[in-house]
Amino acid sequence: MLTVEGLRSRYGRIEVLHGLDLRVDSGEIVTVVGANGAGKTTLLRCLSGVQPVTGGTITFRGEALTPVPAYKRLRRGLAQSPEGRQIFTNLTVEENLRLGAFLYSDDRVEKDMEDAFQMFPILKEKRNLAAGGLSGGQQQMLAMARALMGRPSCLLLDEPSMGLAPIIVQQIFAVVKSLKALNVTVLLVEQNAFGALRIADRGYVMETGRISMSGAAEELIADPRIRAAYLGL
């Protein structure tokens, strides 16, 4: 579904991605784990089209994605829930969700919203409240639900567990895992390596703009190098 080959990107003169290769097959949950500053967010920004690519190729569902502007990538089926949530705090929960469905004006929008409320019941309770009044965990739920309102076939998730209490992290990861049943493919970027690998099919380890390891998620969890460096074991 999504193939990245030789991907390079830079901020000014400084190259931050050094020829990345990565693949996400349809129906998979694939995670990219690594320390802060490894280039994980830059990778997702390149995929969603908001960060310039200076080399390599991105192919999505058989189409070269690099020349496609960011606002057209959602229509292709690629959506991102960004780091830091980036919700509209002065709008209500429901208004934020409707913005996620800006491509659509059909009857299914209401069903999509009900599906979002079923996935995150707390959002239904707070649908008419300003999003800025939500807790951090609730804002993360809203960011994910808003991205799903765009009906993506592939969802890019950037650090959804960041700054959240462990019990909320469990809820977020449980929802991510459930997306497979909805035929949504997921590329999950996380510092929480153990939590991410537990729900993933495959994983990549990223260090200073390069992929240093890859494999089945259970194999990476069992690898002594991963356990020492990222799992604290």
Q: CB–CB of 31/205 below 8 Å?
A: no
CATH 3.40.50.300 range(s) for the chain read: 24-52+67-77+152-233
State the chain's mean pLDDT as an integer.
93
Residue 103 banded pLDDT, cuts 50, 70, 90:
confident
pTM, two decimal places: 0.92
Residue 232 banded pLDDT, cuts 50, 70, 90:
low
- CATH number for 24-52+67-77+152-233 (one of 3.10.105.10, 3.40.50.300, 3.30.420.10, 1.10.1740.10): it is 3.40.50.300
- Residue-wise pLDDT tens digits, 61-74: 999 999 999 989 99
Query: What distance in Å separates the CA atoms of residue 78 and residue 222, rounded to the nearest whole number?
Result: 31
Q: CB–CB of 96/130 below 8 Å?
A: no
- Residue-wise pLDDT tens digits, 3-31: 999 999 999 999 999 999 999 999 999 99
Token pair, residue 186, equals 């997921």
Q: Look at residue 180 and give its three-state secondary structure.
A: helix
Q: For the chain, give the percent of residues with pLDDT over 90.
A: 87
Token pair, residue 221, equals 């969890």
Side chain identity at residue 139, one-letter code: Q
